[in-house]
Structure 1
Amino acid sequence: MLDSFTFENPGYFWLLVLLPLLATWYFWKRNLQQAELRLSSVQGLKSQRSILPVLRHGLFALRLIALACMIVAMAKPRSSDVSTRTSSTQGIDIVLSIDVSASMLARDLKPNRLDALKEVAAEFIKGRPTDRIGLVVYAGESFTLTPVTSDKALVLAALEDLRYNTVLENGTAIGMGLATSVNRLKESTAKSKVIILLTDGVNNAGFIDPKIAGELAVEYGIKTYTIGIGTNGMALSPIGILSNGQFRYGMAQVEIDEKLLQEIAVTTGGKYYRATDNEKLEEIYEEIDSLEKTEIEEFKFTNYEERYRPFLLIAGLLLIFELLLRFTIFRSFI
């Protein structure tokens, strides 16, 4: 509340220095404000004590308070309400292309690769309030989970509901995932278009060559960041299905076509990363977030409400009250 209370003319507060000077002057002259009558003896006069002579000094106090209120009013107190509006001067359209093959359930990242990715990707999406984001998922084939949209709630809900299922043919169609992502962005009018493609394997499915998909990205001016997810060496991965439909886990060699991912990234002007654990995956998304910054222009609007009127009203009432007392109860002391 006090943070929004300001004074347009604070220099008038220097006048408050006069108040203690006036009080000092009044104290010094207090005995000279009434006429004196000298008598040789007051023995024959009836003595009557009254509190009025003491209270009459309150009249001057009322006047000082009224002056203080008028000085505050001259300083023009006012409260301010600041509202902001932001506009993006360089919007970015981003597609997260996510591998959802069975190997993404490997447990070298905690609790598994897919869930670790979902947590990090959700924070990345929340940190891009002015950008449009879409989701593409792929395994042996690919499809658009959400179009490129500014509705972050929709994208986050779709990401949260992302699970491995048997709807998509199993496999890793990197070319299909990249081509579908390019298709989502090719008609975008954004000044910057970005694909973040994540996989944990090698291209072994689909009918589109990843290199051709990368060339399409270059043709449409789309930068691609590629991420290979998975530890170096062996990882606890799904290796079969039990009779109850659950996966059977065992140690399996992690195979990522890093050469292909590096080539796609370099060709499109992006960068390749390797995420071997949860912390590294988080660092990668933070780095991409810092590399792809949106220029934001912020406008601030300040609405002022003048607050000097109550001080003038108080000053006026005090002066009227002082005059009433002076010419009624304290009339005999004037």
Structure 2
Amino acid sequence: MLENISFANPQFFWLFLLLPVAIFWYFFKRREQSASLKLSSIKGFPKNSVLPKLKPLLFVLRLVALAAIIIAMARPQTEEISTRTKTTQGIDIVMSIDVSSSMLAKDLKPNRLVALKKVVAEFIDERPNDRIGLVVYAGESYTKTPITSDKSIVKNALSDITYGQLDDGTAIGMGLATAVNRLKDSKSLSKVIILLTDGVNNSGFIEPQTAANLAVEFGIKTYTIGIGTNGNALSPVSYNADGSFRYAMQTVEIDEPLLKSIAETTGGKYFRATDNKKLEAIYQEINKLEKTEIEEFKYYKYEEKFRPWVYLAGVLLLIEWLTRITLFRSFI
């Protein structure tokens, strides 16, 4: 009867301390409550009557009725909780991804671009309440997908990103400016760009700092990520006769001062990913830094369960009273 039950007034359970006192008082006063009569002979009385021995049942019935009343006073009830969530502040995010030939370097496994796509796909899955867009750049830049809440579209576009879709080069300013252009008309209270590159700005007609100033003007925060190991990496240097890449060890050159300047100018943060684990940790940190505000409403429905205990107490007291004035009438 008490399964999945809570009590609105549990302080009334202290009244159970009265039960041991009542039991003690009953046995202490029992003899005084029974009158004694001395007879010279009991031949006229029926022998082996069990009713006198059952007289304590009256007290037991009262005791159980009292316990039921105490439980009823504690107000047992079941509680049903329903929740509803409401996104109060979504975030618009554009990820600007370098797809130059150096992104095929094998210092991240199996290469930088494939490792990045895997981590970005997981990042997208963890942002169910936000709109996300993709920009890719090499020697120039373009919007792969505009900001959208349809994560399947974004992930399909991400999986289609490959090297060779743009002229080779690293136009960091163009990649950032295109991302700013996708976000400048957004009505979201929070707008974020995640710009990733593995090189230095050597292409495009927009300076990175100019693009950063545009981001500030439109209230867009930029997180920058430099991807590549410290030192040398096995990178594509030319083509083989069959069209495949020929790899050789090349010095990893990342313009970290520029990336740090872009992040600081826009109120973001710079990260360096030297291996797969660090790249994954960076996106996890950005995921924690840029939290969507979610408001949760809880609705409580209570169903009172004290009535059965009141009924039980009433029935027990009725039985006790009827038994007292009938079966035990001669012994009271």
Alignment TM class, shorter chain as reference: 0.7 to 0.9
Shift of 1:284: 3.1
Q: Distance in 2 between matches of 1:102 and 1:325?
A: 98
Check conservation: 1:4, 1:81, Cα contact below 8 A.
no
**Aligned partner letter, 2:106:** R
Deviation, structure 1 residue 32: 4.2
1:196 and 2:198 correspond: no
Q: Distance in 2 between matches of 1:313 and 1:239?
A: 89
Aligned to 2:23: 23
Structure 1 unaligned regions, length at least 5: none
Q: Which residue of 1 aligns with 2:77?
A: 78
User: In the alignment, what sits opposite 2:10?
Assistant: 10
Distance 1:81 1:135, change over 3 A: farther
Is 1:132 equivalent to 2:122 in the alignment? no
Change (3 A) 1:252 1:330: farther
Q: 1:118 to 1:75 in 2, by over 3 A?
A: same
Q: Per the alignment, in what secondary structure is the counterpart of residue 253 of structure 2?
A: coil
Deviations 1:72-129 (A, max 9, x none): 2112222333444455555432212122334323221234323433444345445545
Distance 1:320 1:261, change over 3 A: same
Q: How does 1:195-214 map to 2 (within 5 A)?
A: 195-206=193-204, 208-214=206-212
Measure the CA separation in 2 of the matches of 1:156 and 1:309: 57
| TM-score, L = length of structure 1 | 0.81
CA deviations over 1:172-200 (Å, ceiling 9, x no partner): 33233222211221111122211110011
Runs of at least 4 residues of structure 1 off by over 6 A?
Answer: none
Match of 2:231 among 230, 233, 236: 233
1:251–1:310: structure 2 CA closer, same or farther, 3 Å change rule? farther
SS at match of 2:254: coil
Give the whole-Å Cα distance in 1 for the aligned partners of 2:231 and 2:253.
Answer: 8
Query: Residues 311 and 154 (structure 1 numbering): CA distance in 2 closer, same or farther, change over 3 Å?
Result: farther
Distance 1:257 1:190 in 2: 31
SS of 1:38 mapped into structure 2: coil
- Which stretch of the first structure deviates more once superposed, 66-75 or 310-319? 310-319
Counterpart of 1:41 in structure 2 is 41
- Equivalent residues in 2 for 1:30-179, closer than 5 Å: 30-42=30-42, 44=43, 48-88=47-87, 90-128=89-127, 130-152=129-151, 155=154, 159=158, 161=159, 163-164=161-162, 166-179=164-177
Q: Residues 100 and 321 (structure 1 numbering): CA distance in 2 closer, same or farther, change over 3 Å?
A: farther
Query: What amino acid is aligned across from residue 231 of structure 2 in structure 1?
Result: G
**Residues 146 and 4 of structure 1: is their aligned pair in 2 closer, same or farther, counting only changes over 3 Å?**
farther
CA distance in 1, matches of 2:136, 2:101: 13
SS in 2 for 1:184: helix
Could you give the per-residue CA deviations for residues 19-55 of structure 1, whole angstroms, max 9, x where no partner exists? 222222222233344443322234x457633444333
Q: Following the alignment from structure 1 to structure 2, what is the Cα–Cα distance between the partners of residues 187 and 199? A: 25
Equivalent residue of 1:190, what SS?
Answer: coil
The one-character-per-residue Cα deviations of 1:241-262 (angstroms, maximum 9, x if unpaired) are 5677665544233222334323
Rounded Cα–Cα distance in structure 2 between residues aligned with 1:210 and 1:322? 92
Single out whichever of 209-218 and 308-317 deviates more from structure 2.
209-218
- In 1: Cα distance, 2:52 partner to 2:70 partner: 29
Change (3 A) 1:37 1:111: farther
Query: Aligned equivalents of 2:291 and 2:221: distance in 1?
Result: 14
TM-score, normalising length from structure 2?
0.81
Provide the alpha-carbon RMSD of the alignment.
Answer: 3.4
Distance 2:82 2:318 in 1: 41
Cα 1:145–1:330 change in 2 (3 A) is farther
Cα 1:70–1:165 shift into 2, 3 Å: same
Q: 1:54 to 1:259 in 2, by over 3 A?
A: same
The worse-fitting range, judged by mean Cα deviation, of 14-23 and 112-121 is: 112-121
Secondary structure of 1:305's aligned partner? strand
Is the 8 Å Cα contact of residues 241 and 247 (structure 1) preserved in structure 2? yes
Give the aligned partner of residue 215 of structure 2: 217
| Percent identity (aligned) | 64
CA contact (8 A) 1:108 1:235 kept: yes
